[in-house]
Amino acid sequence: NNYATADALAVVARLGIFSSVTFSYPLLFFGLRDGVIGLLRLDGAKEGVHRVATVALLALVNSLACVMKDLGLVTALGGAILGSTIVYTLPALMALATSAQNKADGKAPLLGPLETAFNYALVPLGGALAVIGAAMTLKAA
C-alpha cells in the first residue's frame, strides 16, 4: 500500500499479483497434496484418500494463512533453509550418488578420494548453515 490508489500502473500491478496468486494456487496445491500422499505412502488412486488429503491440507494451509501475520518471516525462513540446501547439500549428494552409481555400473568413479571426502563434508556443513540461518531468522523476528 505504498502507492497512490489513483496510480493506474499500481492498479494493474495489483491485478497482476492477484491473478498470479489465484491461478498458481491450484498448481502449487496439487503438487503439495500429491507429495504428501506419496510421502505418507497412501494410495492416491482411491477417491476417499484423495478427498480426505485435499480437505485436510486445505484446512491446514488456510488455518496457517489466517494465523500468520508476517509473511516476511516465512520467506526468510524458507530462504535460509532452502538456500543452504540448494547451494551446499544437494549438489554434494548428487555428486556422491552419481559417483556411486558409476562405480556400481563398473565405470570409473566420478570423484576421487579427496573430492569424495569434501562432498561428504559439504552435506553436514549445508545442514549446519541451514540450522544457523533458520535460528538467526527466528531470533531476528
Q: What is the pLDDT of residues 58-98, one digit of tens each?
A: 999 889 888 888 788 888 999 999 999 999 999 999 999 99
Q: What is the pLDDT of residues 8-48, one digit of tens each?
A: 888 898 899 899 989 998 888 989 998 999 898 888 778 88
Q: Are 44 and 97 in contact (CB under 8 A)?
A: no
pTM of the entire predicted model: 0.62
Q: Are 68 and 74 in contact (CB under 8 A)?
A: yes
C-beta atoms surrounding 111 within 10 Å: 18
C-alpha cell at 10: 499500481
Whether pLDDT at 109 is above 90: no
Query: Residue 126: pLDDT band by 50, 70, 90 thresholds?
Result: very high
C-beta atoms surrounding 52 within 10 Å: 13
- Residue 77: what residue type? L
